[in-house]
Amino acid sequence: MFYQKTVKYFLIFSFFSLLFFSSNLNAEISVENEWARVTPSGTGSVYMEIKNNGNSDDKLLSASSDKAGMVMIHRSIREGDISKMIHIHDGITIPGNSSVSLKPGDYHLMLMNLDKNLPLGDKISIILNFEKNNSLEINPVAKLRPPKMHAHK
Ligand SMILES: [Cu+2]
């Protein structure tokens, strides 16, 4: 009887420590100020600030959305007077205890074949997949123009 009880408590303990550690891992990454700029032609750019509160680096590897045919990681770069977008294949590194901004003229998520019936002001569910942390869902609002950001003074 004693043995059975020990096993039972051990299993309960294992279950909760598993819960604790997996939720702990997720808490290291947080996303703020997410928003999406959509076009009538059915593409969209998604911007956000990704914070890594953990001590080790992580990487945003990919993203997906049920409102878009495909989601790619892009970066806008300037070559002389020409601005163009390049497809980032190896992800975006989010250094430990630091953050990376996806913003106009820089990194962004590119939504391809976006649902054309999506009304402005609606939220677009997007899943972000990281190398180490668990996947995270964000819900940026579809807009035509950038929202007014808080002024950091
Ligand atoms: Cu793009």
Cα–Cα distance between 9 and 32 in angstroms, integer?
Answer: 39
Say how many Å lie between the CA of residue 46 and the centre of ligand 1.
9
Say how many Å lie between the CA of residue 79 and the centre of ligand 1.
16
Instruction: Name which of 36-40, 67-71, 72-76, 147-151 the model is least confident about.
Output: 147-151
Say how many Å lie between the CA of residue 85 and the centre of ligand 1.
5
Domains of the chain: 25-143 (2.60.40.1890)
Q: What is the pLDDT of residues 48-80, one digit of tens each?
A: 999 999 999 999 999 999 999 999 999 999 999
pLDDT for the residue numbered 116: 83
Both ends of the chain: CA-CA distance in Å?
A: 65
Mean pLDDT across the stretch 96-124? 94
Mean of pLDDT over the chain: 87
Mean pLDDT across the stretch 15-23? 54
- Residue 149 — pLDDT band, cuts 50, 70, 90? low
Say how many Å lie between the CA of residue 107 and the centre of ligand 1.
8
pLDDT for the residue numbered 87: 97
Say how many Å lie between the CA of residue 43 and the centre of ligand 1.
9
Say how many Å lie between the CA of residue 92 and the centre of ligand 1.
14
pLDDT for the residue numbered 51: 97
pLDDT for the residue numbered 30: 96
CB neighbour class for 1 (10 Å; exposed up to 12, middle 13-18, buried from 19) = exposed
Looking at the predicted structure, is the pLDDT value of residue 10 above 80?
Answer: no
- Quick one: the chain helix, strand, coil %, rounded to 5? 15, 50, 35
Say how many Å lie between the CA of residue 50 and the centre of ligand 1.
18
